[in-house]
Structure formats: C-alpha cells, structure tokens
Structure 1
Amino acid sequence: MQRFGTLSFGHYGPLGGGRTLSAADSMLQAIDLAQGMDELGVNGAYFRVHHFARQQASPMPLLAAIAARTRHIEVGTGVIDMRYENPLHLAEEAAAVDLISGGRLALGVSRGSPESVVRGYEAFGYTGSTDPRGADVAREHFARFLRAVEGEGLAERDASSPFGGGSGMQRIEPYSPGLRSRIWWGAGNRDSAEWAGREGVNLMSSTLLTEDRGLPFDELQAEQIRAFRAAWRDAGHPGEPRTSVSRSIFPITTAEDELYFGGRDDGDQVGVIDGIRSTFGKTYAGTPEQLVSQLQRDAAIREADTLMLTIPSQLGVAFNLRLVTAFAEHVAPSLGWIPANAGPDPSEDGPAA
C-alpha cells in the first residue's frame, strides 16, 4: 500500500436533535477536508456518486473546486454510474478537471450500485436496455466515453463553418492527453475485474463482491486483483495498472472515538444485493497498534497500491481530519505509505503527463 485516501459517501439530511446537514454543507465541508488532507500528505479524496438520493450526484464541480484549492492530492470518484451518463459530456468534463488539477484526476466509473429508484437511468433518457440492471447501457456508454478520452474524432467537421471548418473528424474539446491512464473501472466480481484488465483501465475493487465461495472477503478481493493484473498482461498493455480497495477503518485514540466506534470491529458479512449473494468486508476499529497488526494481515490491502478509507462525512471536518491524521501518523507508515507531498511540488513542474 503506497497510497491512501478517503472515500466519502457524501450523505446529507437530518442529523437528529433538530440539526440538518444541507447539500451545500456537504460539498463545502468536503472541500475544507480535502485541503486539510492535502497539507497532511494524504494521496486522494474520492467520492461515491448516487442519483435520486441525498448524496453526491454530479461530482465534477466539486472535484474541480478541490483541485483548484490543493496542490498534491488526487481527486476522484468511486464510482460514477455510467448508466446515467452522456459519455461525450462526461469526457469533456473529465478532461477539464484533469487539466485544472494538473493530471490529478482518478475517475472511477462502473455500472454503479443499486439505486433507491427503479431503473432511474431511464428517467435520464437512457432507455432500451435488455438487462434488468442496465449493464449493457453502462458498457455501451463506457466504450464511447473511452473513444472520446482517447481523442478519436467523433463528429464530422463542417467545411462551410465560419468557425474553422475543414475536413475529417473532430475530437471533443478540451482534450487531456494523459487522462486515459487515469480511468478506473469499479469491479464487483472476478469477471468484471478481468474485463477491466483487458480494456486497459485501472481497477477499483468494490466495497462488496458479488461472490460467496466460502473465502474471507480480503482473500476474494486479492484473487480478483491478481486476476485483473494477469488479464492486463495477457492483453499486452504496457506498464503496471493501479489497483485500489476500500475499507472502514477507525483508529480509536480518544474517548469520543470509543463512543462512536468501540465494539465495531466485526467480521465479514454475507447477504443478497440486486438479487445476488454477495460478500461484504469487515469493519476495522481499534487502537493504532491493533490496526497495524490486523491490516498487515489483510490480503487485499497487501495486494493493492491504494487504500480508500470510508469516512463518516456527517461528523464534520474536524472529526474526520482527526481520524485521518491518526491513521496517517500511527498506522499508514507501517503499511508502506508514501505521502503525496513527499516528492517535488507538482505546481513547479507543470501538468502531469
């Protein structure tokens, strides 16, 4: 594990006791937290995306705002639901954020998680799916999105246009040359991970796996990562892909931490989601010393290069920054962490390739 960041679900709404966290609160606090983490050397700030819910739904403005106020931290999603996306519009927005950030975008996309509505992507205008979960729509949109990101000409130039014209096919603008290498696919099982490897995109292993083979969650996930890397190599892609896993990890260093998370160190869970029997990873909570011992034995954390910590975003900036600081100071170094601010300042070198 060379890198770690936070994965925020971005919930907002009633908090109890007459208190409410608004959508504006959620986004503004996310920016403040990312600035604090950037100073600490945390490697990434990633956001879940859900539609028809009190969570982040249109993350690009938030990522751009964070990128403009930070210098080192990677900004990204985990994941954008491609069933809902216009692929060319997403490619334009992603290129813009990548350019603003100097190549710090980590755009995670996938079929998406189960939603709170029935086939909500059809309300966005994407109909005609023959799959009950819309996987065919997601894959079709993703293929066109990749073509746009790669700079392929997708619209015929108008020779009579007063705005340049010419002949041939025109790519989308803006175009970010290095963006293709910063695209991730969120995979929930071995088959989708191998598919991502063949496509030549990075892997975000899901917070749950749609498998139950009697193995611990971390071992299933480690197998998935190894299968992804093998598929990448077999497809002849150059270089090494990146891989990430997410975990609920809570260092307990104060009485308040104990109140919120004491006794939360539980085991894997098996349940049914989207009609498929699935395995959910455990929650880690304990002293920093206990966490180091436990996480060093987690097979998937050992296998991946990036760890995403799911954070309780409704507890505010100060609380979450204290949790992240405790992890950075007392746990992450023993797992191989390299702080994002350990190398040269990217603002001095220009945009990353």
Structure 2
Amino acid sequence: MERFGTLSFGHYGPLGGGRSLTAGDSLRQAVDLAQGMDDLGVNGIAFRVHHFARQQSSPMPLLAAIAATTERIEMGTGVIDMRYENPLYLAEEAAAVDLLSDGRLALGVSRGSPETVVRGYEAFGYTGAEDPRGADLARAHFDLFLRAIDGEGIAERDPDSPFGGGTGLQRIEPHSPGLRSRVWWGAGSRDTAEWAGRIGVNLMSSTLLTEADGRPFDLLQADQIDAFRAAWREAGHPGTPRVSVSRSIFPITTAEDELYFGHSQNGDGIGYIDGFRSTFGKTYAAAPDVLVEQLLQDAAIRSADTLMLTIPSQLGVEFNLRIVESFATHVAPHLGWKSTRA
C-alpha cells in the first residue's frame, strides 16, 4: 500500500437530538478536513457524488476550494455519475481544477450507483438510453469526455470570428496535459474493470461487487484487479495504472471509538443491487495491532496501491481527523505507507 486517503459520503441533514448538519456545514467541514489531512501527510481525499440526495452533488467547487487551501493532498471523486454530465463542460471543469492544483486531481467517474429517484439523469436533460440503468448513456458521455481532455478537436472554428477565426477543429479549453492519467473508472464488476484496463484509465474498485460465488469479497476484488491489469497490458498501454480499494476501517484506541465502532466488525454481506446478487465488503474495527494483522490478510488491499477509508463525515472534522491520524500512526506504516511529509 503506497497511498491512503479517505472517501466521504458527505451526508448532511438531521443528526438527532435537535442537531442538524447543513449543506454549508458539510462543505466547509470537508475543506477543513482536507487541510488537516494535508498537514498529516495523508495522500488523498475523495467524495461520493449523488444527485437528488443530501450529499455532494456538484464536487468541482469543493475540489477547487481544497486545491486552493492545501499543498500536497490529492483530491477527487468516488464517483461522478456520467449519466448526469455534460461531458464537454466536465472536461473544462476538470482541467481547471487540475491546473489549479498542479495535477492533484483524481477524477473518479462511472455509470453511477442506484438513485433516490427514477432515472434522474433524464430530468437533467439526458435522455435516449436504451439500457434501463443508463449504462450506454454513461459510456457515450465518458467517451466524449476522454476525447475532450485528450485535446482532440471538438468544434469547427469559425473563419469569420472576430476572436481568432481560423479553420479546422478547436479543442476544449483549458487543456491540462496529463489529466488523462489522473482519471479513474469506478468498477463494480470484473467486466467493467477489464473495460477500464482496455481503454487505459485507472481502476477505482467499488465497495461492492455484482458477483457472489461464495468466495470472500477480498478474493473477488483481487481477481477483479488482476483482470484489470491483464487487460491494460494486453492493450499495450504504457506505464503502470493505479488501483484503489475502499474499506470501512476504524482503529479503536479510546472509549469513544469503542462506543461507536466496537460492535461494527462483521463479515461480508450478500444482497441485491440493480438486480444483481452482490457481495459487500466487511467493516474492520479493532485495536491497531489487530487491524494490521487483519488488513495484511486482505488480498485486495495487498494488491492495490491505494486504500481509501470510508469515514463517518457526520461526526465532524475533529473526530474524523483523529481516526485518520490513528490509522496513519499505528496501522498504515505496517502496510507499507509513508507520509507525504517524509
């Protein structure tokens, strides 16, 4: 494990006991958390993107704010639902954030997860999908997005324009060289992971897999990672792709930790999502020395270069920074990690 960071679901709303976390609170706390993690030398902070829900829905302003107030930390998404996106506008935004951050964007995109509404992307104006889940729409948007960030000419220049004119095709501006190498596809199956390898983007392996053959989640996920890397090699892409996995991991070092997470340790879950029988990864919650032994046995964590901790963002910046610092101090070094401050 070369890198670790956090993945926040960004929930806000009533917290119980008459308390509430507003959307503004959630955004400001996300910036504060990123600053604290940057100081700790943690590698990355990523945010779930969900529309029609009390979560982050338009991440680019948040990522730009983090870019402007941090120095080293990578900021990204896990994942942007491409069914909802204007691919050319996303290409402009992504390039701008990548440039502002000096290449620290880790843009995770995908078909998206189940929604709180019925085909919400159609309300955004994106219709015509033949797949009932909109997967074809997401792939088409993603293809155009990749062409745009690669610098391909998209629109015919106007030779009579008072703003430069000329002939041929004009690319999207701004353009950020190298952004393609910082794009990730969030894959929930072996097939989509292989597809990501073939087209040459990084792999963000999901917290669930739409497979359930009796094997543990970590072995299923390790097989998915192997298939991705094999597809990358067979396609002849240069370099080494990055791979991230997400886990709920809580070092228990205080009585408060025990109160919140002491009974969270469990096995893998089996359920149905989007009509597929799926396997969900388990939660790890234990004393740091126990966690080290458990995580060293997780085949997917051993295979990936990046581990993202799913954090309870509703519990505030101070609490989450303590979780992250505890993991960075007592667990991560035993998995191969070194702080960016080193």
Could you state the TM-score of these two structures normalised by the residue count of structure 2?
A: 1.00
Q: Distance in 2 between matches of 1:146 and 1:239?
A: 18
Task: Report 1:128-207 matches (<5 A).
Answer: 128-207=128-207
Specify the alignment match of 1:218 in structure 2: 218
Specify the alignment match of 1:255 in structure 2: 255
Report the Cα offset of residue 180 of structure 1. Answer: 0.6
1:63 partnered with 2:63:
yes
Secondary structure at 1:340 match in 2: coil
Report the Cα offset of residue 274 of structure 1. Answer: 1.0
Secondary structure at 1:185 match in 2: strand
Secondary structure at 1:248 match in 2: strand
Specify the alignment match of 2:121 in structure 1: 121
1:264 partnered with 2:264:
yes
Specify the alignment match of 1:351 in structure 2: none
Unaligned runs of 5+ in 1: 343-353
Q: Distance in 1 between matches of 2:286 and 2:51?
A: 34
Specify the alignment match of 2:45 in structure 1: 45
Unaligned runs of 5+ in 2: none
Specify the alignment match of 1:346 in structure 2: none
Report the Cα offset of residue 275 of structure 1. Answer: 1.1
Report the Cα offset of residue 339 of structure 1. Answer: 1.7
Q: Distance in 1 between matches of 2:100 and 2:185?
A: 22
Q: Distance in 1 between matches of 2:65 and 2:300?
A: 32
Specify the alignment match of 2:102 in structure 1: 102
Q: Distance in 2 between matches of 1:5 and 1:160?
A: 50
Report the Cα offset of residue 263 of structure 1. Answer: 1.5
Report the Cα offset of residue 155 of structure 1. Answer: 0.3
After superposition, the C-alpha distances for 1:102-152 in whole angstroms (9 at most, x for unaligned) are: 000000000000000000000000001110100000000000000001000
Report the Cα offset of residue 156 of structure 1. Answer: 0.4
Structure 1 counterpart of 2:134, one-letter code: G
After superposition, the C-alpha distances for 1:231-261 in whole angstroms (9 at most, x for unaligned) are: 0000000000000000000000000000000
Secondary structure at 2:267 match in 1: coil
Secondary structure at 1:94 match in 2: helix
Report the Cα offset of residue 276 of structure 1. Answer: 0.8
After superposition, the C-alpha distances for 1:199-228 in whole angstroms (9 at most, x for unaligned) are: 000000001000001110000000000100
Q: Distance in 2 between matches of 1:339 and 1:133?
A: 40
Q: Distance in 2 between matches of 1:312 and 1:223?
A: 29
Specify the alignment match of 2:308 in structure 1: 308
Q: Distance in 2 between matches of 1:203 and 1:183?
A: 9
Q: Distance in 1 between matches of 2:174 and 2:341?
A: 28
After superposition, the C-alpha distances for 1:72-116 in whole angstroms (9 at most, x for unaligned) are: 000000000000000000000000000000000000000000000
1:20 partnered with 2:20:
yes
Task: Report 1:2-13 matches (<5 A).
Answer: 2-13=2-13
Secondary structure at 1:198 match in 2: helix
Secondary structure at 2:341 match in 1: helix
Q: Distance in 1 between matches of 2:129 and 2:337?
A: 43
Structure 2 counterpart of 1:89, one-letter code: Y
Secondary structure at 1:26 match in 2: helix
Report the Cα offset of residue 301 of structure 1. Answer: 0.2
After superposition, the C-alpha distances for 1:161-212 in whole angstroms (9 at most, x for unaligned) are: 0001111100000000110100000000000000000000000000100000
Q: Distance in 2 between matches of 1:213 and 1:173?
A: 47
Q: Distance in 1 between matches of 2:33 and 2:97?
A: 19
Identity %: 79
Task: Report 1:294-333 matches (<5 A).
Answer: 294-333=294-333
Specify the alignment match of 1:347 in structure 2: none
Q: Distance in 2 between matches of 1:118 and 1:50?
A: 13
Report the Cα offset of residue 338 of structure 1. Answer: 2.2
Secondary structure at 2:65 match in 1: helix
Structure 2 counterpart of 1:132, one-letter code: P
After superposition, the C-alpha distances for 1:8-62 in whole angstroms (9 at most, x for unaligned) are: 0000000011111000000000000100000100000000000000000000000
Specify the alignment match of 1:74 in structure 2: 74
After superposition, the C-alpha distances for 1:303-335 in whole angstroms (9 at most, x for unaligned) are: 000000000000000000000000000000000
Q: Distance in 1 between matches of 2:116 and 2:137?
A: 18
Structure 2 counterpart of 1:87, one-letter code: P
Could you state the TM-score of these two structures normalised by the residue count of structure 1?
A: 0.96
Q: Distance in 1 between matches of 2:341 and 2:196?
A: 30
Following TM superposition, the consecutive aligned residue runs of length 4 or more in structure 1 with deviations greater than 4 angstroms are none
Structure 1 counterpart of 2:128, one-letter code: G
Q: Distance in 2 between matches of 1:106 and 1:17?
A: 37
